[in-house]
Chain A
Amino acid sequence: MNSSLVLAIVTFVYGFSAVLYISSAVFKKDGPAALGSRVAWIAVFGNVLGFILRWIESYKIGYGHIPLSNLYESLVFFALSIAVVCLALEWKYATRYINTVAMPLAFLTMAYASLKAKAGGGEIQPLIPALKSNWLTVHVITCFLGYAGFAVAFGISVLYLGKRFFGVDGKDRSDRGDFELLDELTQQTVMFGFLFLSLGIITGSVWANSAWGSYWSWDPKETWSLITWFVYAIFLHLRYVRGWDGTKIAVVSIIGFIAVMITYFGVNYLPGGLHSYGKV
């Protein structure tokens, strides 16, 4: 049993879970999502298992590093983070339909990772000297928890707009108003993402300062993470101070997630930068 096989299977499990969540919305029944949620737990378990196996394998090869060092590995961790944030929200707010869009994002992420693996990006590689630091672990984990918070916020915002304008619906057993709940959860997940994005930028800064003596160097990925931070800072001010909600705030959340995607993927197409190991 190796990590590649486990993670390939996990992709399908996430896929199955995504189908169930979407079925709930399409057929307006709570049953499929309830099953989908259990399936997602299994996928998360497999995802963690694959992660640990890959870690062990890297030690067996003799490279010995946590699997957070290239695009494939980051996607595997990103999928895990999204699914965990989704399940945590379900557990806290006792409702499943909020993840109709967000949970399938975990599947899409894993599917993309599988494509990368097929194209040869799944090999375990040695760490380049610049990445050999304990800061790697804490920097990548905080960044991706931040990204995951924003991804789930994006999913909830899309669901909000879908409900508002296209009548997409799931059966909500909670006695709270659906729109109010989605609106509130968009804000909650954005705040979670913002805290972790800040932590991610800060740990990256401290690492950069300890590794090459400069905590900020306007590298494209750094700059885009700051742009993302600006967008969500705007979100928070519009929300708290100017009282934006509903459709308007959902749109800002979606714009924020576009910035996240550029920070994650788009930057690799721009010239230069210290984060070149993330090449697509």
Chain B
Amino acid sequence: MSETANNGTVFDRIWAFFASVKLSVVVLVLLALTSVLGTLIPQNQTAMYYHQNYGEALIRIFELFQLFDMYHSWWFRFLIMILAMNITICSLERLPRVLSIVRKKPALDAEKFRRHKNRVDLTMEGPAAGQRDRITAIISKKFGKTSVVDTETGFAVFSERGRATRLGVYVVHLSILALILGSLVGSLFGYEGFVNIPEGETVDRIKLRNSDTTVPLGFQVRCDDFDVSHYDNGAPKEYRSDLVIIEDGQATVKKRIVVNDPLRHKGVNFFQSSFGTIPGQNLTLSFTSKASGMSYEKKIKADQPVELEEGLGTFVLQGYLPSYPFMGQDLGESYVGTISVNGKEPEEVILPLHFAKFDKMRKGAVSVEIVNFDSSHYTGLQVTKDPGVYLVYAGFILMIAGCYIAFFMAHQNLCVEVVKTGDHSCAVMVSGSANKNRMGMGMIVKKIASHIGNA
């Protein structure tokens, strides 16, 4: 093949390059070796992590070769593409020859079998013709369908099985192509993201992993309830969320999801992955008048104005913020409200959870402090969509079937030749061949020979 390749066209040369098993071995070695790198260098970490762990020069080299996300780098994908072409062309190169063997009727020629290594010779008493039905029956029972051919000196029984198993290796190769194609479809048309939904809230977009992009779901998801249960020793036992899918204002699907039991809807999967608590919308605040020193508590709900004592205005809770920047500092989790005295511009009141006395600094007519607040859970959902997964699963099934056929089944040929050596004696040759696991075939030959010998 390689000799003709040098004289052929460019296409022939490229074909010959990809048809070589040497290339398969080289690409597999390269894939194995380079894959190690990604397990030594933590992948997809933050820039800060890398700066803490590696020097500037090393980071630049790693970035050049995309080693911080190497399994998605151009060169890793290139290697996989070479492998895919190699598998395809290797298989196309060899398949016609194998198919012709699979289609061909075997030559019923005892002469060929005399040369095989897996061969047992017996001598038996009694006329050769008397053995004919018995031997045929043994082979039909122990091996497979028989064809009997009369020879000048006696007869020969042939049997063959597993011709199609020669295709097993191509099933494995096809499975790998299905896997590669499936992962390609997934990376082109799928996504992986996450969304946090507070109890009682509804979302219609999710955020992509490792990016700031959000993606619309095409429907809405509401979390009705989240719960976490624990073992006696305090380890978490189960996280669960009650999710509702809303389409055109109608709740169409309801499901309680736990880890390992997700909600699937229109190709989008929602998986329980984390949870957290967020302060709710019901607070008890204490108000202190600067002038009179009078102090009192009031229950507050978001967006519901509350009249303050002594006619000092109206308080409205605007909401909760996970962080609040204030004069170059982050106050952290904070509630924000306003106090408006009739006619005047409303004054903003910041109530950081971690700085109780913060509002005193405002030096307003009334200072506000948080007494307590309710809190609710949010559920953390991993959201994925992968239309390539069906191809991948098809690949899985093909791979297992193909491996089983390729490894544990073989194309086996058996021949028993009986030659008349006298009126009351004959010589029997039992011989077999197989395209693989010849030792296994040898054991079959011996077994059948011993059945025939035990007259």
Contact = CB atoms under 8 A, between A and B. Distances in A.
Interface string A29-61: 000000000000000000000000000000000
A223 interface: yes
Nearest to B36: A227
A270 interface: yes
A205 B40 CA distance: 22
Interface string B4-25: 0000000000000000011011
B35 A223 contact: yes
Contacts of B233: 126
B183 interface: yes
A129 B271 contact: no
Interface residues on A, range: 35 or more
B31 interface: yes
A237 B183 CA distance: 24
Contacts of A220: 39
A242 B40 contact: no
Interface string B192-219: 1000000000000000000000000000
B260 A202 contact: no
Contact of B389 (A199, A215, A223, A238): A215
A191 B407 contact: yes
Given A126-B237, A133-B260, A237-B21, A230 B386 contact: no
Query: Which of A206, A211, A231 has most chain B Cβ within 10 Å?
Result: A211
B142 to A, nearest CB: 17
A82 B361 CA distance: 73
Given A181-B439, A212-B271, A224-B39, A230 B32 contact: yes
Contacts of B383: 213
B404 interface: yes
B302 to A, nearest CB: 33
Contacts of A126: 231, 233, 235, 237
Contacts of B31: 230
A91 to B, nearest CB: 13
A184 B87 CA distance: 26
A177 to B, nearest CB: 10
Main secondary structure on A side of the interface with B? helix
Contacts of A231: 32
A276 interface: no
Contacts of B40: 270
Contact of B384 (A213, A230, A267): A213
B235 A128 contact: yes
B261 to A, nearest CB: 8
A195 B400 contact: yes
A-B residue pairs, 10 tightest by C-beta:
A213-B384, A191-B407, A230-B32, A129-B259, A220-B39, A213-B269, A241-B21, A133-B260, A202-B396, A211-B260
Interface of A: 63, 126, 128-130, 132-133, 176, 180-181, 184, 188, 191-192, 194-195, 198-199, 202, 205-206, 209-216, 218, 220, 223-224, 226-227, 230-231, 233-234, 237-238, 240-242, 259, 267, 270-272
16 contacts: A132-B259, A192-B407, A194-B407, A198-B403, A209-B389, A213-B384, A215-B392, A218-B71, A223-B38, A230-B28, A230-B32, A234-B28, A240-B169, A241-B21, A242-B22, A259-B32
Given A211-B259, A242-B25, 7 more contacts: A130-B259, A202-B400, A212-B271, A213-B382, A215-B392, A230-B32, A237-B25
Interface of B: 21-22, 24-25, 28-29, 31-32, 35-36, 38-40, 42-43, 71, 169, 183, 192, 231, 233, 235-239, 258-260, 262, 269, 271, 273, 382-384, 386, 389, 392-393, 396, 399-400, 403-404, 407-408, 436-437, 439
